[in-house]
């Protein structure tokens, strides 16, 4: 079929002990000619980062392969900065990442205990919802790609509640807990646009469809939006649930 369509290609036989490297932007597939056990690993060198920034990602399905480049670059910069200021022996990225996760988990537990960010009321949560930067109408695509998920200002305080399976339908207003700059987690308001295999696709006001994200329903980062605490509508929902 490829030959008939005039598409050029090459073939290669991989034998025991061989390593195959696929370069960025190349389509590839393979098949076994007999019983086989193989392993694949995604890796990249620093020169690959600009290519990753420009890569188009299929958001039509939650299981399509993708890398969160914003998060990837934040962690890479933080690791390099920590190693630059490290007085002792430098850590491998794997060891640094494990320590980073341990500190982040401990900090989140302390924040919840001290009530620094949320006030729990009968299973409901009052959260400070941040506002996403508006990207519509910005023709500078390079600027858009490099722009991080920054906190502009607090939009308002809204009421979050655990979301039930029956409420996971398109057009349902939700609150999402996402990583922002400086490794801080913030709440953003969005709307469910699709639900597939325990994943919900979320669209955020002021963003493009290409910036929609998939969240695992049981990730603990997805809540039902009961409205603003400053409105009568939100207060009624708070009392009625």
Cα–Cα distance measured from residue 237 to residue 121, given in angstroms and rounded to the nearest whole number: 13
What confidence tier does 110 reach under pLDDT thresholds 50, 70, 90?
Answer: low
Q: What is the pLDDT of residue 155?
A: 60
Q: What percent of the chain has pLDDT over 90?
A: 12
Q: Establish how many alpha carbons lie within 13 A of residue 130's alpha carbon, considering only the half-sphere containing its beta carbon.
A: 18
Query: What is the CB neighbour count within 10 angstroms for residue 24?
Result: 12
Does the pLDDT of residue 111 top 80, yes or no?
no
SS3 75: helix
135-155 tens-digit pLDDT? 444 444 444 334 444 444 456
pLDDT, one tens digit per residue, over 39-97 is 888 888 888 888 888 877 676 777 777 777 877 888 888 888 888 888 888 888 889 98
The answer on pLDDT for 114 being more than 80 is: no
pLDDT in tens, 126-138: 888 887 665 444 4
Q: Compute the distance between CA of residue 76 and CA of residue 134 in angstroms, rounded to an integer.
A: 26
- pTM for the complete prediction? 0.56
């Amino acid at each position: 079929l490829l030959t008939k369509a005039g598409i050029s290609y090459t073939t290669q036989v991989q034998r025991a002990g061989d390593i195959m490297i696929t370069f960025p932007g190349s389509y590839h597939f393979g098949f076994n000619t007999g019983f086989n056990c193989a392993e694949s690993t995604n890796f990249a060198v620093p020169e690959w980062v600009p290519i990753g920034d420009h890569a188009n990602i299929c958001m039509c399905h939650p299981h399509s392969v993708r890398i969160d480049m914003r998060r990837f670059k934040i962690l890479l910069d933080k690791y390099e900065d920590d190693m630059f200021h490290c007085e002792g022996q430098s850590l491998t990225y794997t060891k640094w990442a494990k320590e980073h996760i341990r500190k982040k988990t401990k900090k989140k537990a302390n924040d919840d205990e001290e009530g620094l960010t949320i006030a729990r009321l009968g299973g409901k949560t009052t959260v400070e919802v941040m506002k996403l930067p508006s990207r519509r109408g910005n023709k500078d695509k390079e600027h858009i790609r490099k722009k991080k998920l920054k906190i502009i200002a607090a939009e308002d305080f809204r009421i979050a509640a655990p979301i039930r399976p029956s409420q996971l339908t398109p057009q349902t207003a939700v609150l999402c807990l996402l990583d922002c700059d400086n490794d801080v987690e913030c709440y953003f308001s969005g709307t469910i646009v699709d639900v597939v295999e325990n994943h919900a696709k979320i669209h955020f006001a002021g963003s493009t469809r290409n910036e929609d994200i998939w969240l695992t329903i049981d990730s603990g980062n997805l809540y039902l939006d009961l409205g603003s605490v400053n409105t009568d509508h939100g207060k009624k929902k708070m009392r009625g649930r």
